[in-house]
Amino acid sequence: MIAEKIEANPLFGGGAEIRLFIKDVKAVQSFMNKYIDGKKYSVEFKRKRANRSLDANAYCWVLCHEIAKKLDTYTDEEIYMEAIRKYGMSTIRPEEAALVDDLCRMWDNMGLGNQHVILGDSKISGYVNVKYYWGSSGYNTKAMSRLIDGLVSDAQELGIDTRTPDEIERLKQLWETTDT
- Least Cα distance to 147 among 87, 66, 100 occurs for 87
- Above 90 in pLDDT, residue 91? yes
More confident residue, 28 or 118: 118
- Above 50 in pLDDT, residue 179? no
User: Which contacts qualify for 91-96: CB closer than 8 Å, 24 or more apart?
Assistant: 91/131, 91/132, 92/119, 92/129, 92/130, 92/131, 92/132, 93/129, 93/130, 93/132, 94/122, 94/123, 94/124, 94/127, 94/128, 94/129, 94/130, 95/127, 95/128, 95/129, 95/130, 96/126, 96/127, 96/128
- Above 50 in pLDDT, residue 178? no
Residue 142 has what pLDDT?
Answer: 85
